[in-house]
Amino acid sequence: MRPWARLGFWLPLGAVFVWGLVVLLLREDTLRETTFTLMMFVGMASSLNILLGYTGYVSFGHIVFFGLGGYFGFYLLSQQGLWLLPAAVGGGILSGVLAGLLGLAVLRLRGAYFALATIGINEAARAFVSNFGPFGGATGLFVNFQAYQAYGGAGPALWTTFMYLWLVTLAVLLVSALVQGSRFGLGLMAIREDEDAAMVMGVAAPRAKTIAFMLSAFFPGIIGTLYFFKNGNVEPGDAFQLHMSIEALVMIMLGGQGTVVGPALGAVVYQGLRGYLLTSPLFKSLHLAMAGLFLLLIVLFVPAGAVGWLRHRFPRLRKVLT
């Protein structure tokens, strides 16, 4: 059966489509801002899931592709005068190519070694950008106010940015669902379960892993560009926050790794919880510790995540929750 013949294929796509449409129609600034953050994490978690959930490689460095790709896109936009969309795609391409090059080196590592290497990459990228002249070094880059005029002023520019983010989020979910239901995705899952056995069955693991890594890195580059454009500036401290990588992991594990809906659902639920915790002074300084504890509890007690648990508990839901 073709993947798009299933109801489950359309469920997350439909939900995000309607959600974004409603926000665009309501045209309320605060709603747009909260939705922007939520959708950004839906996109980040869903893209990381292509590597983590389907291929089984845990990366703590996903934010590098958001940071570096975003930096590059923002550079194209603010220094080279490119339009938002081509600049963002440029950021995505840079992230994808970077993942391809990195993949050749680090995807040979398995398990914990790979995970550790990805932390190293994050720190290296931050150090590099802080000292890289064209990217503004430690102070970063900013767009001057004039740039927004091209989009009809600051307000409309923010709505345009939101609309692009909405489309990118839909694209991530679409790619995720297509990969999951494809021959390529089956190869990735075979790698996740037992890489050596997969290779003996004919899966060209080095190439498949690299493509998965590139796909998972491409979208964060676009999202990063959109996010920094919305903020009007980018600096190293914003771009490479290790805790965002960890939070993306929590979202995936919470919702259900290796499913399409799981990471999206996990992102929304986690962001909701986080927003709640951040308003409480008691938890404000503890929220990362809570995220860590949360991750531990999930891994120990519900390793398949919420969607995985539901699929297991109620087999009938399998056609709906993919």
Partner 1 sequence: MILEVHHITKRFGGLQALTDVSFGLKEGEILGLIGPNGAGKTTLFNVLNGVFPPNRGQVIFRGEDITGLPPYEVARRGIARAYQVVRPLNELTVRENVMVGACYGREALPLAQAARVADEVLATVGLAGRAEQLAGSLNVAQKKRLEMARALGSRPYLLLLDEVLAGLNPSEIAAMLDTIRAIREGGVTILMIEHVMQAVMSVSDRVIVLDYGQLIAEGSPEEVVNNPQVIEAYLGDPQMTARLMGE
Q: Of 3 and 292, which CB lies nearer to partner 1 in the complex structure?
A: 3
d(CA 9, CA 150): 37
Q: Of 131 and 182, which CB lies nearer to partner 1 in the complex structure?
A: 182
Q: Of 89 and 190, which CB lies nearer to partner 1 in the complex structure?
A: 190
Contact flag: residue 201 with partner 1 (CB under 8 A): yes
**Torsion-angle region of residue 132: left (phi > 0), alpha (psi -120 to 50) or beta?**
beta
Contact flag: residue 104 with partner 1 (CB under 8 A): no
- The residue assigned the tokens 């056609």 is 319
Binding to partner 1, residues 246-275 (CB under 8 A): 258
**Torsion-angle region of residue 263: left (phi > 0), alpha (psi -120 to 50) or beta?**
alpha
Taking CA atoms, 180 is separated from 2, 106, 166, 174, 188, in Å, by 11, 24, 21, 10, 9
Contact flag: residue 295 with partner 1 (CB under 8 A): no
CB of 45 to partner 1, least distance (A): 20
- Candidates 122-130, 172-180, 186-194, 260-268; binding stretch for partner 1 (CB under 8 A): 186-194
Q: Of 207 and 243, which CB lies nearer to partner 1 in the complex structure?
A: 207
Q: Of 67 and 185, which CB lies nearer to partner 1 in the complex structure?
A: 185
Strands (E), the chain: 141-142, 233-234
Q: What angle do CA 167, 50, 316 make, to 5 degrees?
A: 90
Which sign does the torsion angle of CA 178, 182, 184, 186 carry? positive
Instruction: Find residue 234's DSSP bridge partners.
Output: 141
- Candidates 40-48, 146-154, 200-208, 211-219; binding stretch for partner 1 (CB under 8 A): 200-208
CB of 157 to partner 1, least distance (A): 43
Binds partner 1 by CB under 8 A, chosen from 193, 278, 289, 296? 193
Contact flag: residue 196 with partner 1 (CB under 8 A): yes
Element (H, E) at 243: helix 242-255
8 A C-beta contact, residue 65 and residue 220: yes
Contact flag: residue 79 with partner 1 (CB under 8 A): no
Binds partner 1 by CB under 8 A, chosen from 126, 192, 209, 230? 192
Q: Of 122 and 210, which CB lies nearer to partner 1 in the complex structure?
A: 210
Contact flag: residue 194 with partner 1 (CB under 8 A): yes
CA-based end-to-end distance of the chain: 14
Binds partner 1 by CB under 8 A, chosen from 16, 23, 76, 189? 189
CB of 195 to partner 1, least distance (A): 10
- The residue assigned the tokens 């992230």 is 95
d(CA 107, CA 83): 34
- The residue assigned the tokens 């069955």 is 201
Binds partner 1 by CB under 8 A, chosen from 97, 186, 246, 302? 186
Binds partner 1 by CB under 8 A, chosen from 88, 102, 117, 190? 190
d(CA 322, CA 311): 9
Contact flag: residue 200 with partner 1 (CB under 8 A): yes
Q: Which residues bind to partner 1, rule: CB under 8 A?
A: 1, 182-183, 186-187, 189-190, 192-194, 196-205, 258
